[in-house]
Amino acid sequence: MNRQSSRDTAPEVAVRKILHAAGWRYRVDVPVPDMPRRTIDIAFPKAKIAIFLDGCFWHGCPKHATHPKANAEWWRTKLGKNMARDLETTEHLTAAGWTVLRFWEHELAEDVAHQIAAQARRRRTGRTPLA
């Protein structure tokens, strides 16, 4: 697992390039306030928007998650803890007034960047998102 990249993954870089080219400025790998060892993949700190680009295997994508057969119980526990940590982080940030956006690695970078930019625009203008 040491070889697994936890930052600057291909989906993250693709989304960041699109956002940057569109003129959006953001922070990368921002520490989650009051939660040691956890980081936000892409953040708009002033607008309090946290974006996470989750890997299908590591975070339990309902469409693409696989379940290893070797050492199955250990993997089930490991991946379950990852998903619980994601939920805890989302709840913590939401309680602190952040908007949390989570995307899967298989989603198109253009679509993800469009949704992020739309949310950032709404926060910048002070309008609440439509339901």
| CATH code of residue 94 | 3.40.960.10
- The tally of domains found in the chain comes to 1
Q: Which long-range contacts (CB under 8 A, 24 or more apart) does 17-22 make?
A: 17/109, 18/109, 18/110, 18/113, 19/113, 19/116, 19/117, 22/113, 22/117
Residue 124: the pLDDT is 81
CA–CA separation, 119 and 56 (whole Å): 23
On whether residue 2 sits in a domain, the answer given is no
Kindly state whether residue 41 falls inside one of the protein's structural domains. Answer: yes
Q: Is residue 3 part of a domain?
A: no
pLDDT, tens digit, for every residue of 59-85?
888 887 777 889 889 988 998 999 999
Q: Is residue 58 part of a domain?
A: yes
Average pLDDT over residues 83-100: 96
User: Is residue 59 assigned to a domain?
Assistant: yes
Q: What is the pLDDT of residue 46?
A: 93
Burial of 118 (0-12, 13-18, 19+ CB in 10 A): exposed
Q: Is 18:116 a contact under the CB 8 Å cutoff?
A: no
* 106-121 pLDDT per residue, tens: 999 999 999 999 999 9
131 lies in some domain? no
Q: Tokens in use for 81? A: 């803890």
Q: Do 122 and 129 touch, CB atoms closer than 8 A?
A: yes
Rounded CA-CA distance 7/94 in Å is 22
Global pTM reads 0.86
Q: Is residue 60 part of a domain?
A: yes
